[in-house]
Amino acid sequence: MEILGFIVLIACLVVGVRFGGLGLAAVSGIGLTFFVFVVGLVPGKPPIDVMLTIMAVVTCSGFLQASKGLDVMLKYAEKLLRKNPKQITVLAPITTWFLTVLCGTGHVVYTMFPIIYDIAIKQNIRPERPMAVASVASQMGICASPASVAVVSMVAMLSGTSHPLGVVQILMISIPATFCGVLVAGLWSLKRGKDLAKDEVFQAKIKDPEQRAYIYEERSENNSNMKLPTSAYKATFIFLLGIVVIALFGSFPKELLPLVPNAKGAWVPLSMTPTIQLCMLVIAAIILLVCKVKVNDVTNGSVFKSGMVAVVSVYGVAWMAETYFGAYLPQFKETLGQIVIDYPWTYAIVLFIISKLVNSQAAALAIVVPMALSVGVDPLIIISFISACYGYFFLPTYPSDLACIGFDRSGTTRIGKFVINHSFIIPGFIGITVGCCVGYVITHILY
């Protein structure tokens, strides 16, 4: 029954992911029903703390987008790239990584793609070089952001372990780890593919006047000089100040957080999980009141919509996984626990595979981290390999990768003949491999 249950679980992930986050949650319900009504397993507990944290973060990010605070960040990012066009291949991924770190979502990269393409093609730089790695970098920034679902989920899941690290402690590892991964992937991309002048396919395209006009047409507007309302700058300041406050709470919990009784009756500082939830809601409220945001604009925004889909997705997938893995925990401890303990790097492989199956870093962490903790994996190993939660670049099915291909009118960013030989796979592997190695070293230096 363990093997049959595992097949059902994987089948639900593979089928569900074809229909996006909501479809994944719905199909996970079929797997959960099978486990409960057919196999007779006791339903597990949905990750309520993780879901509430996600909702708080998404609400705050939604108000930031509605106030045009997100546009402020994009404006200055474009200024940086247009002032240094020759270095676009290295600066583009650093920029998209940094925007994700600030905003907590990789969706900001959609606005950057036409800018990156416009700069690259004007400099006769193969657009694939900066664009593919920029797409990868935007997703790697998720586990380095104090406002991301992945990081706050990790804080919630580690809160009851032997190493209950806060946001700052995790970011001390994930920020340098992912940045190094992005930087090395960008440097590798400097010479990837043929130069446009030597690319026979590209040269054949531009011989056609219509194709040449299409490829070199300046479609992206220069928004680096656009005027934004004062309220947008206020919203950006409020959001960034709120992130600093969260970081201070995480660094000095005993001095700054109120004391509450724990399960044993001892008075301890308030956990960072509710602290983050409260801070995010307060930041959203201040932006609402100071910047006079229309609430309808928040709910109609892409950040809020995609975030709420993530909540439902995590709910369905994590509940199904908790039911299955919780029921067969003794067997997993016996068969998998010792392998992962003896060979810690296998944890990263498991996390990578699950991430690809669910197409979500937060969902992958929600599935794998509790299972790993239950079989005795050292929390420091879990933190070391946080970069491995970005595995959905392996097949070019993620929206940001597909959008990247669409924005590259030169056709250099593409899916290969064998599907797996696409533009994102090598930068992706370089990024997470370097990220995991650097994360492992930093973790064991610090702790």
Whose CA is closest to 93, among 430, 446, 442, 445?
430
DSSP 219-270: -S---TT----HHHHHHHHHHHHHHHHHHHHHH-HHHHSPEEE-TTS-EEEP
- Structure-derived torsion over alpha carbons of residues 3, 10, 177, 180, reported in degrees to the nearest 10: 120
Q: Which two tokens stand for residue 37?
A: 């009504």
131 touches 120 (CB < 8 A): yes
pLDDT for res 79: 85
**Other C-beta atoms lying within 10 Å of the C-beta of residue 338:** 12
Q: Which residue has the higher pLDDT, 392 or 47?
A: 392
Burial string for 265-287 (b: 16+ CB within 10 Å, else e) reads eeeebebbbbbbbebbbebbebb
Tell me the two tokens of residue 266.
Answer: 């001892």
Residue 327 CB contacts under 8 Å (≥ 6 apart), including other chains? 5, 35, 39, 41, 42, 44
Q: At residue 395, does pLDDT exceed 90?
A: no
Mean pLDDT (whole number) for 41-55 = 81
Q: Is the pLDDT of residue 170 over 80?
A: yes
Selected residue with higher pLDDT from 78 and 351:
351
Residue 269's pLDDT band, with cuts at 50, 70 and 90, is: confident
Whether pLDDT at 220 is above 60: no
**Of the candidates 176, 186, 64, the residue with the CA atom closest to the CA atom of residue 135:** 186
Indicate the average pLDDT of the chain: 85
Give the tokens for residue 63: 């108000």
Report the distance separating Cα 408 and Cα 429, nearest Å: 22
User: How far lies 48's CA from each of 18, 157, 160, 366, in Å?
Assistant: 25, 11, 15, 11
Please tell me the predicted confidence (pLDDT) of residue 72: 87
**Distance of alpha carbon 306 from its chain centroid, rounded?**
12
* Predicted confidence (pLDDT) per residue in 80-102, tens digit: 888 888 999 999 999 999 988 88
**Is residue 319 predicted with pLDDT exceeding 80?**
yes
Lowest mean pLDDT among 200-204, 325-329, 404-408: 325-329
- State the average pLDDT over residues 176-203: 95
Give the integer Cα–Cα distance in Å for 443 and 165.
Answer: 12
The model's confidence at residue 38, banded by pLDDT at 50, 70 and 90, is very high
Which of the residue ranges 227-236, 321-330, 335-344 would you say has the lowest mean pLDDT? 335-344
Q: Give the model's pLDDT for residue 385.
A: 95
Better-predicted residue by pLDDT, 164 or 136: 136
Burial of 436 (0-12, 13-18, 19+ CB in 10 A): buried
On the question of pLDDT at 225 being above 90, the answer is no
Res. 417: pLDDT tops 90: no
At 144, is the pLDDT very low, low, confident or very high (cuts 50, 70, 90)? very high
Measured CA distances, 284 to 14, 55, 84 (Å): 36, 12, 35
Q: Is the pLDDT of residue 340 over 80?
A: no
Average pLDDT over residues 299-313: 78
The domains of the chain are located at 2-446
φ, ψ dihedrals at 101, nearest 5°: -60, -40
Report d(CA 64, CA 239) in Å as an integer.
Answer: 7
Confidence category of residue 397, pLDDT binned at 50, 70, 90: low
Distance CA 315, CA 176 (A): 30
Highest mean pLDDT among 19-23, 70-74, 167-171: 167-171
Stated as kind and residue range, the H or E segment containing 109 is: helix 109-122
CB atoms < 10 A from the CB of 361, how many? 29
Poorest-pLDDT segment among 153-162, 238-247, 381-390: 153-162
Q: Exposed/middle/buried for 220, CB within 10 Å: 0-12, 13-18, 19+?
A: middle
Structure tokens at 417: 């003949």
Alpha-carbon gap, residue 155 to 274, rounded angstroms:
11
Cβ atoms < 10 Å from Cβ of 178: 31
Mean pLDDT of 222-244: 84
pLDDT of 433 above 60: yes
Strand partners, 260: 268
pLDDT at 243 exceeding the cut of 60: yes
Is 90 exceeded by the pLDDT of residue 232? yes
pLDDT grade for 164, boundaries at 50, 70 and 90: confident
CA angle 262/444/425 to nearest 5° reads 105
Q: Is the pLDDT score of 158 beyond 50?
A: yes
Q: pTM for the full model?
A: 0.71
Q: Of 394, 404, 400, which is closest to residue 127 (Cα–Cα)?
A: 404
Q: How far is CA 408 from CA 31, 266, 413, in A?
A: 39, 58, 6
What share of the chain in percent tops pLDDT 70? 93
Q: Which residues contact 190 (CB under 8 A, 6 or more apart)?
A: 89, 90, 129
* Phi, then psi, of 385 in degrees rounded to 5: -105, 30
